[in-house]
Structure 1
Amino acid sequence: MATLVLVGVVSFIAGCAKAPAVDMSRVVITLAAAPEDAAGDADTVAASIYVTGLPPTQVDALRSTGLTEAQWANLLRVTVVMADGAVDADLPPVLGSHAVSEDDSLRFTPLFPFDAGRSYAIRLDPNRLPGLDAAAVEALDTLEARVALPRPDIQPTTVVERIYPGGDRVPENQLKLYLHFSAPMSHVDGLAYLRLLDGRGREVEAPFLPFGLDFWDRDHFRYTVFFDPGRIKQGLDLNEQLGRSLQAGETYTLVVDPAWPDAEGNPLQAPFEKQFSVGPADTAPLDHTTWRLRVPAGGSTQRLVVSFPEPLDHALMRRAIGVETDAGQPVAGEVETGNWETRWMMTPAQPWVPGAYALVASTILEDLAGNRIGTPFEISAPDPTGNAVSERAGQASAPLSHGMQDDTVRIPFHIR
């Protein structure tokens, strides 16, 4: 038998006070490839669990006794080890087949190949071996081992593509950061891989809302980081005890640990840092009357351009702003943001038809400090438990629902 990988070898001696003695001292558990598959690599070889060194009498009894699948599973049980290293006794065993090989080894072959890099727990109960006289032999110790196929040597490719806000200056009461990755990421709490350093290189104490597992988008390409609203909103205990996470006039660096695993379990290709300075707090609600539109010509596919006097929330800009015809029908097109999120642009899918239109913005649209149209964040601030923050995270992924007059503002314009 050609060994593919040997990561767990166990030898146990079970003391037996009763006769006849059963010697289990030579039992070895390995994860290996069958001889006919030995030329393969870790990605293609169908590996099996092998138990060698069993007493010949018990091996002969195994060959002559037709064990049921349940009996085999009680004798040799294989389960998946949890990510934290624990073995859950309630987990069902790995499905597969059991057999006695020609070399007298006991073999377990999984129904589906073992995952490279994943650990498996092996439990052999010698007391379940056929041919043992329970009345004559003292109970034997259970033998346990952990085995794993090595993870293939894969060069990391996933990177942090960008962090929003895209500019290098934010208000003291900045509410969110968006991290965009080049590939899907694992469903983990991203806060474990983030640090916020002040201008002296010291880590800022508890700057973020500690509910980090909940703030992935559906496809796990984007991760939202909320500065703790309890520290942002004046009058709350956290604000009075610790102050705001960011202080006006200071410079900070967000550091992304490259150990952050992508959906394949691989680390990031490289660390990532974003440095930014902090300005005064922004407590004024959004005023849509200050927005300026550059209207395209009829019959063209020119972009409609909307300019704002301050940067807006990047995710909400893409989802909470749209265009409707005078009849209330949405206009399809490609949306872009620019100039550090102070500009919204839409290129229509079809040439503009001359006539009346309206720019439609949902009132959930926010600036960098979480101020909404007509409502400042200090009034609409989420509760300290984070329930309303989760709602805001969901709103950043939901498309604008047209026709909801009570929840939108409309800016009419005419294309000639």
Structure 2
Amino acid sequence: MKKIFLKFIQGGSLGLLLFFLSLNHAQAQSFFTAKTLSSSPEYGTITTRLVPEEVVDLINKQNFSFDEWSSFFYIKTNPNAPAVLGKYSIKNNHLSFTPKFLPDPKINYFVTFSYPKLSELLSDAINEQNVYSDVASFEPPETTQPEVISFTPELDEVPANLLRFYVYFSAPMGLENPYDFITIEDKNGKPLVDPFVIIPEGLWNINHTRLTLLLHPGRVKQGVGPNMTQGDVLLAGNSYTLKIDKSWKGSSGEPLKADFSQTINASNPLRGAMNINIWALKAKISNGIGILTVITDHPLDQPLAQRMIFIRNKQGQVLPVQVTFDSPEQLKVLWRHQGSDELELLIDPRLEDVCGNTPHYAFDLEGTERTPSTEELKIKFRVN
């Protein structure tokens, strides 16, 4: 049987950069969408992002049983539990699962889609090795009409080479094209032309309440003739306004409560790798909870940091933590203290600052090797 290869194909250096972005920002989006509106007949449904049409055609020919479906696309109450019962469907190249019984809002559900497992069922007809996992919560929002409740990074001035914004909503947003409702204007009110990397369907978390907006790296041409160079979307020293139109509808069909605008002041670009060796750490214990305050050398990408920073005790156990931010350059890591005063802060080497720089490389410097490292990063500290 002929294999289907799922590739990113794009010409030129911009294609390579966008390919790198697509790999490096997997943590910023979910492969799934979860229906969390209790008033919807699809409450509890999990839907994948677009699946290639060739793969959908192969699946349609198989008439999979529940056991076959749930071998590659499943929802569980914990990783070792059996798959939740329900039915599968395909619409417009999206695969969906709807549970037989309404989900419990008190439970976090583990969701997985495995291309290798699907390939086994299709007799190795596809050559895709990605496995997508996420955690879904079905606690209904307090109101079905959405509004913008938060915008990050929360900085008085952002570096001109800022890579992304995050917009948080109070309720799930619909499947309309996000870029039809969002603009960035200069100080004269003139919209910037194509400031965002356009990602089909947008970069959403699983509940469709957090949108990631990627600014085009090196999109703007500066200079004239042979001296023309790539520049940043934002220019240092300039002021901009990001606007979101209230006609944008949420999953409930209701539009945003109000227009949203955010002033953006651009400062000098932030180029260069992070240096974790100069991070300042101070730990204390309060009512049995460990609190580690970390001051970093670069403003961190907050959603990534909340998934990529951990603590390990002297016995080698990685402890569950909660990461909160006082500012993009100061965070707190909380854990349940269990007596060990000698600990390590573990940092995923893919952690980025707000401009895409990691502890191993600078994101947008010419000649920089941008291959993600697997080297473990750690900083030892003691509880005072």
1:322 is displaced (CA, Å) by 1.1
Task: Measure the CA separation in 1 of the matches of 2:257 and 2:379.
Answer: 45
For residue 36 of structure 1, what is the aligned residue in structure 2?
none
| Residue 264 (structure 1) aligns with | 252
The answer for unaligned runs of 5 or more in structure 1 is: 1-42, 44-89, 92-154, 383-387, 393-404
Q: Cα distance, 1:285 vs. partner?
A: 0.7
Look up the match of 1:370: 356
TM-score, structure 1 length as denominator?
A: 0.53
Q: Secondary structure at the match of 2:255?
A: coil
**8 Å CA contact retained: 2:221, 2:230:** no
After TM superposition, the structure 1 = structure 2 runs for residues 403-414 of structure 1, keeping only pairs within 5 Å, are 406-414=374-382
Take 2:153 and 2:221, find their aligned partners in 1: how far apart are those partners? Answer: 20
Given residue 340 of structure 2, which amino acid in structure 1 is its aligned partner?
A: P
Aligned residue for 2:208, secondary structure, equals: coil
Q: Deviations over 1:240-285 (max 9, x none)?
A: 5774211010001100111111111210011111102101111111
Aligned partner of 1:316 in structure 2 is 304
Q: 1:287 matched to which residue of 2?
A: 275
Q: What is the Cα deviation at residue 302 of structure 1?
A: 4.2
What is the DSSP-based 3-state SS (H/G/I as helix, E as strand, rest coil) of the residue aligned with 2:346? Answer: strand
* Structure 1 partner of 2:204: 216
Q: Secondary structure at the match of 1:373?
A: coil
CA contact (8 A) 2:310 2:321 kept: no
TM alignment of 1:75-224, pairs within 5 A? 157-224=145-212
Counterpart-to-counterpart distance in 2, 1:266 and 1:185: 9
Which segment is superposed worse, 352-361 or 267-276? Answer: 352-361
Q: Does 1:278 align with 2:246?
A: no
Q: How many Å apart are 1:229 and its aligned residue? A: 2.1
SS of 2:319's equivalent in the other structure is coil
Q: Does 1:303 align with 2:291?
A: yes
Label 1:258 to 1:156 Cα distance change in 2 as closer, same or farther (>3 A). farther
- Distance change >3 Å, CA 325–CA 228, structure 1 → 2: same
Q: Which residue of 2 aligns with 1:6?
A: none
Moved over 2 A (4+): 232-235, 239-244, 297-300, 379-382, 405-408
TM-score w.r.t. structure 2 length? 0.57
Quick one: distance in 1 between partners of 2:306 and 2:195? 27
Structure having the higher strand fraction is: 2
Q: Cα distance, 1:230 vs. partner?
A: 4.1
Change in Cα spacing, 1:196 to 1:317, as seen in structure 2 (3 Å) is same
Identity among equivalent positions (%) equals 27
**1:410 alignment partner AA:** K
Amino acid at match of 2:363: F
Preserved CA contact (<8 Å) 1:299 1:354: no
Alpha-carbon offset, residue 174 of structure 1:
0.6
Q: Which residue of 2 aligns with 1:57?
A: none
State how far apart, in whole Å, the 2-side matches of 1:332 and 1:371 are: 26
The residue aligned with 1:344 is: 331
Q: 1:35 corresponds to which residue?
A: none
Kept in 2: contact 1:299–1:353 (CA 8 A): no
Structure showing greater radius of gyration is 1
Q: CA deviation at 1:347?
A: 2.3
Deviation per CA, 1:315-336: give whole Å up to 9, x if none: 1111111111123312123321
- Aligned residues of 1:171 and 1:282 also touching (Cα < 8 A): yes
Deviations 1:155-192 (A, max 9, x none): 97311111110123111111000011111111232111
Using a 3 Å threshold, how does the CA distance of structure 1 residues 205 and 177 change in structure 2: closer, same or farther? same
Cα distance in 2 for partners of 1:323, 1:255 equals 39
Cα deviation, residue 305, structure 1: 0.9
Deviation at 1:352, TM superposition (A): 4.2
CA contact (8 A) 1:318 1:337 kept: no
1:255 aligns with 2:243: yes
The alignment's C-alpha RMSD in Å is 3.4
- Describe the shift of the 1:161–1:285 C-alpha distance in structure 2 as closer, same or farther (beyond 3 A): same
Q: Aligned letter for 2:324?
A: E
> Counterparts of 2:205 and 2:296 in 1: how far apart (Å)?
26
Q: Aligned pair in 2 of structure 1 residues 381, 159: CA closer, same or farther (>3 Å)? A: farther
Q: Tell me how far apart the structure 2 counterparts of residues 355 and 211 of structure 1 sit (CA, whole Å).
A: 45
Q: 1:220 to 1:381 in 2, by over 3 A?
A: farther
Residue type of the alignment partner of 1:266: E
1:53 maps to none
SS at match of 2:155: coil
Q: 2:221·2:228 contact (CA, 8 Å) conserved in 1?
A: no
CA distance in 2, matches of 1:265, 1:377: 39
Amino acid at match of 1:309: D
Alignment-mate amino acid for residue 203 of structure 1? P
CA 1:330–1:156: 2 relative to 1, 3 Å? closer
Distance 1:353 1:233, change over 3 A: farther
CA–CA distance in 1 between the matches of 2:310 and 2:198?
33
Distance 2:155 2:245 in 1: 21
Structure 1 residues 212 and 344: CA distance shift in structure 2, 3 A: farther
